[in-house]
Structure 1
Amino acid sequence: MRTRVRKFAHVLERLGLAMAGAASGLFVSALVGTSITLFTSQAFLLLMMLGGAIGFYLGIDTPPLPFNASSGKPSNDEWVRKIDTPEFLSAVGTFLAAFSAFASVGVIVLRHDPHIAWTWMIMAGWCVGVAMQIIAGAIARRR
């Protein structure tokens, strides 16, 4: 059983991940908003930050598959030889979202003006990555 201190620490960790996701969403939306006039609104900025916060909160710290302690094998035999879908979605989604945020910060700091196709790719990577994180978190918490 978890103690109150451990539960509190876990909540703080998850809130920190959510803030990192929101900050990453801010960088991506700042880059996209400066390049694509359709996305220059504050609503877009907040939507990207909210998506990042939810995605990083749910998707980075997914609960693992339940294991049977006596045999060391998963308690659900159908998962024995299959890919753990939430873990895979979380990993790929985190990579895409983090890489998109990294690329956005690099472009902003270096004051580079990328081709519009690169900006669309950065935004698509962010949106797909965050969506994968949210889906991974939802699947992992339902099982």
Structure 2
Amino acid sequence: MQTRVRKAAHVLERLGLAMAGAASGLFVAALVGTSHSALTNQAFLLLMMIGGAVGFYLGIDTPPHPLTALSGGPADGTWVGKIDTPELLSAIGTFLAAFSAFACVGVIVLRHDPHLVWISMIMAGWVVGVSMQIVAGTIARLRR
């Protein structure tokens, strides 16, 4: 019974992360769409929201590398002293995506009109960050 409750709680947590990612994508799309008239459409908004939802769903809660039960070390000993790539990608991707969304909210709330270069950097940070999250989550789930 407890495992079903834990699994349900985990699914709810992941859905909440997906909704936060979708909301972040919406903020980035709203800012970018106001600066580029070609990107002011519902397809762009939907694409950004889906990308954020998938990225935050897969990339924030990546499964750890398998450990042995007795020593707490790696099960196969192959990654001793090495960097856990999905964990690093997830961390950097989450930071970039969250920072881009934070910057967008700040610009929208403070009603600034940033230069096109800044908006392009925010968009690039978002796309790279979400892509890193998706790649990290995929790698971590494939290695299980």
Please indicate, yes or no, whether the TM-score normalized by the shorter chain is above 0.5.
yes
Counterpart in 2 of 1:71?
Answer: 71
Matches of 1:12 and 1:47 in 2, distance apart?
A: 23
Q: Deviations over 1:19-62 (max 9, x none)?
A: 00000000000000000112111100000000000000000000
Count, aligned residues: 143
Counterpart in 2 of 1:111?
Answer: 111
Counterpart in 2 of 1:95?
Answer: 95
Q: Deviations over 1:94-132 (max 9, x none)?
A: 000000000000000000000000000000000000000
Matches of 1:104 and 1:64 in 2, distance apart?
A: 31
Give the TM-score of the pair, scaled to structure 1: 0.98
Q: Deviations over 1:5-32 (max 9, x none)?
A: 0000000000000000000000000000
Matches of 1:48 and 1:65 in 2, distance apart?
A: 30
Q: Deviations over 1:46-83 (max 9, x none)?
A: 00000000000000000001101112211122211110
Q: CA deviation at 1:2?
A: 6.1
Give identity over the alignment, percent. 78
Matches of 2:2 and 2:112 in 1, distance apart?
A: 49
Whether 1:30 aligns to 2:30 is yes
Give the TM-score of the pair, scaled to structure 2: 0.97
Matches of 1:72 and 1:8 in 2, distance apart?
A: 27
Matches of 2:72 and 2:56 in 1, distance apart?
A: 30
Matches of 2:8 and 2:136 in 1, distance apart?
A: 23
Matches of 1:124 and 1:38 in 2, distance apart?
A: 17
Matches of 1:22 and 1:134 in 2, distance apart?
A: 14
SS in structure 1 of the partner of residue 16 of structure 2? helix
Counterpart in 1 of 2:127?
Answer: 127
Of stretches 93-102 and 74-83 in structure 1, the one that deviates more from structure 2 is: 74-83
The gaps in structure 1 that reach 5 residues or longer are none
Counterpart in 1 of 2:18?
Answer: 18
